[in-house]
Amino acid sequence: MRWNLRMVAAERGIWKSTELRRRLAEAGLEISAGKMSALWTGTPISIRLEDLDVICAVLEASPADLLLREPEKVAARKPQPAPVAAGAPPVPRLGRHRSRPPA
């Protein structure tokens, strides 16, 4: 996911994080300067749904405007199957909930 807060804010005429912070405070969401800076300059690791709701209301936006999907990154994370050599015995999969081979 890509965090698109700055672009959405700019489309609404908000060019500085201090302006957005002031508007959020007027809507009842007090954000520290440090947290506002992190929201403004980077992608948050987590965000409370109540906070996201207020941000969306102030910006007259939806969560889909603020969080952009990046399907190409998801596809790049998918593990590629390892090539199996002809005639090679299968490699046992280890892990929990596996039965043991017969003795």
68 DSSP β-pair partners = 2
Q: Is residue 80 part of a domain?
A: no
* pLDDT confidence band for 78 (50 / 70 / 90): confident
What average pLDDT score do residues 5-23 get? 96
Q: Quote the Cα angle for 100-101-103, to 5°.
A: 110
Contact (CB, 8 A) for 35 and 24 = no
Phi, psi of 53 (to 5 degrees): -60, -45
Q: Is residue 95 part of a domain?
A: no
Q: Is residue 18 part of a domain?
A: yes
The domain containing residue 53 runs over which residues?
2-65
How far apart (Å, rounded) are the C-alpha atoms in residues 1 and 90?
37
Coil, strand or helix: which one is 59?
helix
Q: Is residue 34 part of a domain?
A: yes
- The number of folded domains in the chain is 1
Of the given ranges (27-41, 60-74, 75-89), which has the lowest mean pLDDT?
Answer: 75-89
Q: Is residue 86 part of a domain?
A: no
